[in-house]
Structure 1
Amino acid sequence: MTFNQQKNTQTNEIVDIRIVNISLDNFENAYFLGIGGIGMSALARYFKSLGWNVAGYDKTPSPLTESLQQEGIDVHYEDRNSSISSPYGDKAKTLVIVTPAVPKNLGELLHFQFNEFEIVKRSEVLGLITKTSKGLGVAGTHGKTTTSTMLAHLLDQSEVKCTAFLGGISSNFNSNLVLNPSAAYTVIEADEFDRSFLRLSPFASIITSADPDHLDIYGDAAHFREGFELYAGLHPENGVVVQKYGLNLPTAAKTITYGINEPDSEYCGLNVRVENEKYLFDVQTPSGKWEAVELGIPGIHNAENAIACIALCQFLGVDEATIRSGLKTFLGVKRRFESIVKSQNLIYIDDYAHHPTELKALIDSIRLIYHDRKVTGVFQPHLFTRTRDFFEGFVAQLSRLDEVILLPIYPAREEPIPGVTSDALLEKITAPDKKLMLPGEVVNYLSAHTEGVFLTIGAGDIDRIVNPLKKEWSE
């Protein structure tokens, strides 16, 4: 292992990033600690496709772990400590991949550490993969999963092709992994959490936003911004950084700007609209105006994501007709503005939004499409630190709903913070109708409703009520 000291040329600050100097060719076995995570499971599938032996631990069963087991990957849910089955006891041939969500006192992790196995993070593995292919990163506080999935779909529909590691289940591919072994490009989500994206070697990227988040890691907005400046600085001179207009991230690569109603951006989206239930927008490009581009999924933010994909795809040589066809046939990502139930009187949409900016984009889009309907949102705050750091933003956006149902804060990796509760949020929210419920109470309460627009929103385990609600309303 070495540490790469990366210097921000704007602030002269130094960030130490661990760089893994190993060859994947030396290994035959991949053992995952936290295999049920969306990013981890994509890597598990990737190594399985290479012919490796793949196994792993996760805390609880899920539809994703069950899918992995059906694909021939050994998954278990109890801590086996040092009782690791063959062939994963061979440290010379076994690569151990760990997620930060795994407890540091997990017996299996301690066993691998004590016996000096090669233990790497998911982002470090992606960094190794981007050293042997042209990495196409999608970075940003918001929109990474939808944009990277859209980009992968467009490239897969073209002659360019790509392999892609996605942070959600693509509705087109029905997977979080896209495999084209002969493709020159690899699409990856460049995740800013824990500065993971600084371990990548990107050739080109889309950067959608740099709104402060993960302040428990970065400390303040200035250091968060610094992380994105360092990431933009990783690109080579012959690459490109497609960045949202106004970000102004410095890079040695070519810069292309994009935005909606930003006339000074190089790719400018205009006239976002709904016509005959089709989601349309126009795009002014450097080579001319594209009229009435149809997008297969709704959402103002998704139109903006599509404009970024248009810019990068054109840079990579994909023609207009192929791009238009791909956008029209794009079906989106599970839990990203996902339409669950749609009838004449009742609309139910599930969305992963967990930051005030994402809430704003979701609610703006809902109001554009369903402007005359009552909108009820069930929101599960994610992380005590995020709720604390963006408290007023959550209050402002949730107050725009007609009815708000709050669930308790989903803690993930965190301990409670005194005074940071859903009750405190509820007290400040000014929506006409508001209440606090437990997840088990929501289904019974909402199933009695037969009209309106209903949203389940959040990045925790709120997805567990999606199918019960779908069943109630579908019946």
Structure 2
Amino acid sequence: MHDIMKAEEIQLENLKYIYFIGIGGIGMSALARWFVHNGKMVAGYDKTQTPLTQNLEKEGIKLSYEDNVDKIPEEIRTYPDETLVILTPAVPKSHSELLFFQRNGYTILKRAAVLGMLTRSFNTIAVAGTHGKTTTSTMIAHILKFGGINCTAFLGGISANFNSNLLINTKDSRKDVWAVVEADEFDRSFLHLSPTITVITSTDADHLDIYGEKKELEKSFAEFASQTKDEGLLYTQENISTSVKEAKPKNVKAYDYRALRGYGVPNLPVYSVAIKPDEEHENACRFDYIDNTLEIPTRISSLQLFMPGYHNVENMSVAIAVALKVGVNIDDIRDAVRTFRGVKRRFEYIFRSKQVVYIDDYAHHPTEISALLSSVKHLYPEKKITAIFQPHLFSRTRDFQEEFAQSLSLENENDELIMLNIYPARELPIEGITSQVVLDKVKAKNKTLLEDNALLDYLEQRIDNDEIEVLITLGAGDIDRFVKPIHTLLENKHHYYKQNGRRKSDRGF
């Protein structure tokens, strides 16, 4: 632990300067924006410049991309007693800036501790899960804002509606403010939170480099559930571990939720049924929501969601349940669901024409990948799918080789899988663990491994030959840096045909 002080010992009003080590992370950047909004001078370091860090610089935050003490702003180097240093768990102990702050008596806290400190005075809705938490927390925040609930939100993704990962409450008083927080299980970060309403979307095995085995992961989720405040609420996806559900305090009400392919289980507290494609919009679906937890059981029929996929209906189901408990009325919920535009890199449509679709998604766990590809195949059953996957972390690739291979085994023989090399993030290579190991296990006729620098040329040739129908990029690493170049390739082809006409033999664009 790098922490020098406990978060509860810190008085924010005594701080003038906030410095972030690893400011480019999605959770770190939300905190940075919150401190700027609250009048603090904010600066930080990250090893890589990204569109996110560029936006932070435009917002007035001083950034450096070099681990160099001399790059730290002079005010921060001069006034340690008025400075809070916040770091991400991925920062190595040998980081020179971190060593400088440790040697000179600065107050240093991990991001999760600061998030817990900031939300302690709010009514907090915390959404946890090995997958689904970013989309679900963003859905909740959107519905609350739409429904006039005074809320702030620290999100793990960029809301397409607000173009931000931070929402700010509209009043100075925090008495009646709700905070929506994405609760991260990595490094047991979520144990800094004590929510009023807890949502757990999934407890599939993940982060085994931290937990060792799934049982330890479930123990951590159970401890998180047990921290729900007295008289609070706990919502859990029906299929998660019973031990997690039973960990709640006795005076906390617990409800299961689920999206059902059939027409419902009458004794399930919260569920959605009648899930079907929208007849007028290919990228939307319709469903009915049923809530048996209210004084009068409630059904909201024919909700329209512009975020396809069975799993997204499930995420929206619990978001609606939370919103109803907080006080959003049914009419506002219906309109909020219809106007929700998703999260950047969560089933995000990048390019669409009558013949070609390009979707980008953050999916990096086998369960997420299966849900994504299943949804895409459901939407475009007659189209060829070309999926480009970049594995994230050597340890995750090692731990889930078979599961990745199964989830990536595309159904139709015309479909194609392109794999990139593993994105290491915070890790060093593990001997014998490569993308090729997974690719060899994939049951697909058309599959290939490409170096990053060969991807665009490979795709350009496929696009020129009209071999792309539904294209998907997926992964949690830096695969998103290809999104704009791929979009440009597709746009160029589209404009070529608009200017030159199409031959009868042309299939694309």
Q: TM-score, normalised by structure 1?
A: 0.94
1:35 lines up with 2:41 in the alignment: no
1:76 lines up with 2:64 in the alignment: yes
- In structure 2, the partner of 1:268 is 271
Q: Among 137, 145, 152, which residue is 1:148 paired with?
A: 137
Asked whether the 8 Å contact 2:194–2:229 carries over to 1, the reply is no
User: Which secondary structure state, in structure 2, belongs to the residue aligned with residue 87 of structure 1?
Assistant: helix
User: Which secondary structure state, in structure 1, belongs to the residue aligned with residue 80 of structure 2?
Assistant: coil
Counterparts in 2 of 1:118 and 1:170: CA distance versus 1, 3 Å:
same
Asked whether the 8 Å contact 1:439–1:465 carries over to 2, the reply is no
Q: Among 51, 58, 67, which residue is 2:46 paired with?
A: 58
CA distance in 2 between partners of 1:129 and 1:361 (Å): 34
**Structure (1 or 2) with the larger CA radius of gyration:** 2
CA distance in 1 between partners of 2:285 and 2:228 (Å): 34
| 1:189-268 equivalent positions in 2, closer than 5 A | 189-247=182-240, 248=242, 249-250=245-246, 251-252=248-249, 253-261=252-260, 263=265, 264-268=267-271
CA distance in 2 between partners of 1:367 and 1:282 (Å): 23
Q: Among 408, 430, 434, which residue is 2:447 paired with?
A: 434
Q: Among 112, 117, 129, which residue is 1:128 paired with?
A: 117
User: Which secondary structure state, in structure 1, belongs to the residue aligned with residue 422 of structure 2?
Assistant: coil
Letter of the 1:255 counterpart: A
CA distance in 2 between partners of 1:423 and 1:356 (Å): 16
1:280 lines up with 2:286 in the alignment: yes
| 1:34-433 equivalent positions in 2, closer than 5 A | 34-81=22-69, 84-89=72-77, 90-182=79-171, 184-247=177-240, 248=242, 249-250=245-246, 251-252=248-249, 253-261=252-260, 263=265, 264-274=267-277, 275-277=279-281, 278-286=284-292, 287-400=297-410, 402-433=415-446
CA distance in 2 between partners of 1:82 and 1:376 (Å): 47
Equivalent residue pairs, number: 462
Q: In the TM superposition, what is the alpha-carbon distance from 1:405 to its structure 2 partner? A: 0.4
Q: In the TM superposition, what is the alpha-carbon distance from 1:314 to its structure 2 partner? A: 0.9
Asked whether the 8 Å contact 1:405–1:436 carries over to 2, the reply is yes
- In structure 2, the partner of 1:461 is 478
Q: In the TM superposition, what is the alpha-carbon distance from 1:86 to its structure 2 partner? A: 2.9
Asked whether the 8 Å contact 1:237–1:254 carries over to 2, the reply is no
Q: Tell me, which stretches of 5 or more residues in structure 2 are unaligned?
A: 493-509
Counterparts in 2 of 1:137 and 1:351: CA distance versus 1, 3 Å:
same
CA distance in 1 between partners of 2:8 and 2:357 (Å): 48
Letter of the 1:314 counterpart: L
User: Which secondary structure state, in structure 1, belongs to the residue aligned with residue 472 of structure 2?
Assistant: strand
Asked whether the 8 Å contact 2:357–2:470 carries over to 1, the reply is yes
1:83-128: CA deviations, max 9, x gaps?
6333212111100001122232221111000011100011000010
User: Which secondary structure state, in structure 2, belongs to the residue aligned with residue 88 of structure 1?
Assistant: helix
User: Which secondary structure state, in structure 1, belongs to the residue aligned with residue 74 of structure 2?
Assistant: coil
| 1:16-27 equivalent positions in 2, closer than 5 A | 20-27=8-15
Higher strand share: 1
Letter of the 1:187 counterpart: V
1:404-440: CA deviations, max 9, x gaps?
1010111111111122111111111111200000122
Q: In the TM superposition, what is the alpha-carbon distance from 1:452 to its structure 2 partner? A: 1.2
Asked whether the 8 Å contact 1:346–1:452 carries over to 2, the reply is yes
1:289-341: CA deviations, max 9, x gaps?
22111112212111110001011111111111111111100011111000001
Counterparts in 2 of 1:349 and 1:316: CA distance versus 1, 3 Å:
same
Counterparts in 2 of 1:115 and 1:318: CA distance versus 1, 3 Å:
same
Letter of the 1:282 counterpart: D
Q: In the TM superposition, what is the alpha-carbon distance from 1:2 to its structure 2 partner? A: 13
Asked whether the 8 Å contact 1:407–1:437 carries over to 2, the reply is yes
Q: In the TM superposition, what is the alpha-carbon distance from 1:443 to its structure 2 partner? A: 1.7
CA distance in 1 between partners of 2:303 and 2:166 (Å): 27
Letter of the 1:472 counterpart: L
User: Which secondary structure state, in structure 1, belongs to the residue aligned with residue 20 of structure 2?
Assistant: strand
Counterparts in 2 of 1:19 and 1:210: CA distance versus 1, 3 Å:
farther
Q: TM-score, normalised by structure 2?
A: 0.88
Asked whether the 8 Å contact 1:19–1:199 carries over to 2, the reply is no
Asked whether the 8 Å contact 1:27–1:93 carries over to 2, the reply is yes
- In structure 2, the partner of 1:472 is 489
Range 81-90 or range 465-474, more displaced: 81-90
Report the identity percentage. Answer: 47
